[in-house]
């Protein structure tokens, strides 16, 4: 069990609410909160269950979802059969670029929807066009910003 003070517990709940607002189940957000506030980089399945007071099933489902969407990672240690989970992915910058590619894919679908709709609703067409054009712009700029940030950080 991870010992948490009241402030850490409150932050876990806030992080949980944030993730809930992003469409995740409540347990997913609470696990993310715990992984961020814990003083250890990796937590075992049992530590997560005991600390948050959630069922094995809910924990397993939430961890599998988080692993599937590549928000967390796990590791094992020699001589220990347990999996240890962390929200601190080392390749997080690659994930940012991946999310931008996902945004770009959505913008292409929005552009196609506008083309198929034709001129029936000019106001809607303009709103959709503004959105996909910005998404395309954002997608083109984020990799450049990431590269610049990484270079500046190494300097």
Give the model confidence (pLDDT) of 23-70 as tens digits.
999 999 999 999 999 999 999 999 999 999 999 999 999 999 999 888
Q: What tokens does 101 get? A: 């590619």
Total-model pTM: 0.74
Task: Map tokens 């292409």 to a residue.
Answer: 108
The full set of domain ranges for the chain reads 6-86, 92-154
Confidence of residue 97 (pLDDT cuts 50, 70, 90): confident
Beta bridge partners, 84, equal 44, 75
Average pLDDT over residues 121-140: 92
DSSP alpha helix (H) spans, the chain = 6-21, 26-37, 45-52, 56-68, 92-117, 122-154
Could you count the other beta carbons within 10 Å of the beta carbon of residue 60? 13
Count of alpha carbons within 13 angstroms of residue 88, beta-carbon side: 11
Higher pLDDT, 21 or 96: 21
Q: What is the pLDDT, as a whole number, of residue 45?
A: 96
Nearest in space to 44 (alpha carbons), one of 3, 85, 2, 88: 85
Mean pLDDT of 81-98: 82
How many C-beta atoms lie closer than 10 Å to residue 81's C-beta?
A: 6
**Mean predicted confidence (pLDDT) in 134-155:** 89
* For range 93-112, the mean pLDDT: 87
- Of 28 and 120, more confident: 28
**In CATH terms, is domain 6-86 a member of 1.10.10.10?**
yes
């Amino acid at each position: 069990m991870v010992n948490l003070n009241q402030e850490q517990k409150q932050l876990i709940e806030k992080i949980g609410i944030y993730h809930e607002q992003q469409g995740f189940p409540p347990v997913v957000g609470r696990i993310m909160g715990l992984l961020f506030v814990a003083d250890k980089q990796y937590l075992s399945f049992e530590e997560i269950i005991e600390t948050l007071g959630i069922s094995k099933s809910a924990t397993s489902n939430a961890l599998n979802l988080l692993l599937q969407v590549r928000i967390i990672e796990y590791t094992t240690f020699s001589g220990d059969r347990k999996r240890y989970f962390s929200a601190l992915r080392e390749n997080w910058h690659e994930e940012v670029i991946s999310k931008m590619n996902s945004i770009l894919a959505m913008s292409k679908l929005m552009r196609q929807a506008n083309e198929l709709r034709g001129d029936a609703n000019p106001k809607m067409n303009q709103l959709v066009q503004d959105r996909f054009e910005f998404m395309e712009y954002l997608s083109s700029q984020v990799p450049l910003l990431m590269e610049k940030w990484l270079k500046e950080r190494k300097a």
